[in-house]
Amino acid sequence: MQARENYWRYIVAALVLTVAILVLFEIYILREPQRISADKEHDALIAVTAGRTLYTQNCVSCHGEQGEGVDAPALNDKKFLADTADETIFSLISSGVPSTEMPAWNQTYGGPFTDEQVRQVVAFLRSWEADAPDREVEALAGDPVEGLVIYNSTCIVCHGETGQGTEQASALNDPEKLAKFDDDWYADTITEGRPSKGMPTWGTVLSPAQVNDLVALLRAWEQGETVEPPGPEAAITEALHALEEGDLHGAEHALGEAKQGASGDVLALVNEALDAIEAGDATAAETALSQAQELLGAPDMGGDGHDSGG
Ligand code: HEC
Ligand code: HEC
């Protein structure tokens, strides 16, 4: 009796063990594809990282840090990435584009990269695709800040400082009205005008891009956004450049623009530079503008351009 019981105990234990092994094996089989795909993801991540380094070292000067394009086409572009297969990008990078600035990168074509490295760069470019901007659409979409500059010089007399309307013309900042008509309607209305009712035809004066900028401004108003005029940075840089070229008139013109966006100490320096130019002292003007640039570059400048040294 005693021996028999022991014998059964062994059989049960063996059965339990067999089932356990089967279950474990099943779990392993089930998890295998997951493991393989995790490996693949890991490999892809390594390729993207290596590709990013190669890109930063070799492509940024022409194609831009974010692939936005500097002296060469944008690569971080929804349409380009959607339309161009990996193999095509691989061969474009490998052979370059003959008789353009785009050099050959693959050793096969006398470049510095191995096949593997070209593939890594392709993987890096591909990693942009999910959030790549559509540059064609972006180029067409207006810029409300540009729109405000045009508005202030062209529309403000009749439609008022904030588009609230005047005795001469209706309001343009009424959200309910703005919501009723689409962008095309506004672009057409601005382009064609309503000459018989006192709204001039702007299509002969403004480019389609400028009209789009104005529509973007109206849309910003619809959303209740306050659009600020552009800061004086660009105009000050332009003025400095003109001074370097000995173009006092150009500098004066740029500073006229800079004044509109400047305030506080920066405005004082811009005025100082203007006085210096009038007195024919380009060096003093440059000094004042460099100081203004330094102020603008300071991180504590905030949005309103005030820095009263508190
Ligand atoms: C000296 C400037 C320069 C450098 C550096 C450069 N490219 Fe280019 N690349 C160009 C130009 C210019 C073109 C457009 C050629 C043409 O007219 O078709 C181009 C085109 C391309 C294209 C095809 C784009 C399209 O829309 O057809 C790809 C892809 C590309 N470059 C990738 C790269 C990569 C990746 C690197 C770095 C490894 C790189 N380029 C470095 C100038 C450059
Ligand atoms: C000389 C005065 C004048 C100027 C300058 C002017 N507008 Fe107008 N605008 C009008 C008048 C008047 C109307 C109303 C016409 C009507 O009653 O149908 C109008 C109507 C409009 C409308 C249609 C509004 C609506 O809800 O029906 C838009 C949009 C518009 N203007 C945009 C502009 C823009 C943008 C500019 C600057 C590029 C501009 N206007 C410059 C006089 C002007």
| Cα-to-centroid distance, 185 and ligand 2 (Å) | 13
Which architecture does CATH list for 141-222?
Orthogonal Bundle (1.10)
The three-point CA angle 213-214-218 to 5° equals 120
Q: Please choose, from the candidates 128, 137, 130, 132, the residue with its C-alpha nearest in 3D space to the C-alpha of residue 78.
A: 132
pLDDT at site 300: 42
Protein residue with its CA nearest to atom 8 in ligand 1 = 102
Protein residue with its CA nearest to atom 43 in ligand 2 = 199
User: Where are the domains positioned within the chain?
Assistant: 60-133, 141-222, 233-301
| Cα-to-centroid distance, 139 and ligand 2 (Å) | 25
Q: Quote the CA–CA distance of 283 and 294 in Å, as a whole number.
A: 17
Taking only the tens of pLDDT, the chain with its 310 residues reads 556 667 888 888 888 889 888 888 888 877 878 888 888 888 889 999 999 999 999 999 999 999 999 889 999 999 999 999 999 999 999 999 988 999 999 999 999 999 999 999 999 999 999 999 988 777 778 889 989 989 998 999 999 999 999 999 999 999 999 999 999 999 999 999 999 999 999 998 898 889 999 999 999 999 999 898 887 888 898 899 999 988 999 999 889 888 877 888 999 999 999 999 999 999 999 999 999 988 887 544 444 434 333 3
Q: Which own/partner pairs from 241-248 qualify as long-range (CB within 8 Å, at least 24 positions apart)? A: 243/277, 243/282, 243/285, 243/286, 243/289, 244/286, 246/282, 248/277, 248/280, 248/282
CA 98 to chain centre: 29
Which architecture does CATH list for 60-133?
Orthogonal Bundle (1.10)
Out of 149, 157, 199, 201, give the residue to mutate to test ligand 2, the one with the largest number of ligand atoms within 8 Å of its CB: 199
Q: Is 246 left (phi over 0), alpha (psi -120 to 50) or beta?
A: left
Who lines ligand 2 at CB under 6 A? 154-155, 157-159, 168-170, 172, 177, 186, 189-190, 194, 197-200, 202, 214
- Ligand closest to Cα of 193 equals 2
Fold agreement between 60-133 and 141-222: yes
pLDDT at site 13: 87
- Ligand closest to Cα of 198 equals 2
The three-point CA angle 150-270-256 to 5° equals 30
Ligand 1 atom showing the smallest separation from residue 58 Cα: 37
| Cα-to-centroid distance, 159 and ligand 2 (Å) | 7
Q: Quote the CA–CA distance of 256 and 235 in Å, as a whole number.
A: 9
Ligand 1 atom showing the smallest separation from residue 121 Cα: 35
Contact 33, 41 (CB under 8 A): no
Protein residue with its CA nearest to atom 20 in ligand 2 = 199
| Cα-to-centroid distance, 223 and ligand 2 (Å) | 20
Ligand 1 atom showing the smallest separation from residue 71 Cα: 12
- Ligand closest to Cα of 166 equals 2
The four Cα atoms 211, 213, 219, 220 give a dihedral, to 10 degrees, of -150
| Cα-to-centroid distance, 62 and ligand 1 (Å) | 7
Q: Which own/partner pairs from 105-109 qualify as long-range (CB within 8 Å, at least 24 positions apart)? A: 105/58
pTM higher than 0.85: no
Protein residue with its CA nearest to atom 7 in ligand 2 = 199
| Cα-to-centroid distance, 104 and ligand 1 (Å) | 9
Fold (CATH) for 233-301: Four Helix Bundle (Hemerythrin (Met), subunit A) (1.20.120)
- Ligand closest to Cα of 105 equals 1
Out of 146, 152, 153, 159, give the residue to mutate to test ligand 2, the one with the largest number of ligand atoms within 8 Å of its CB: 159
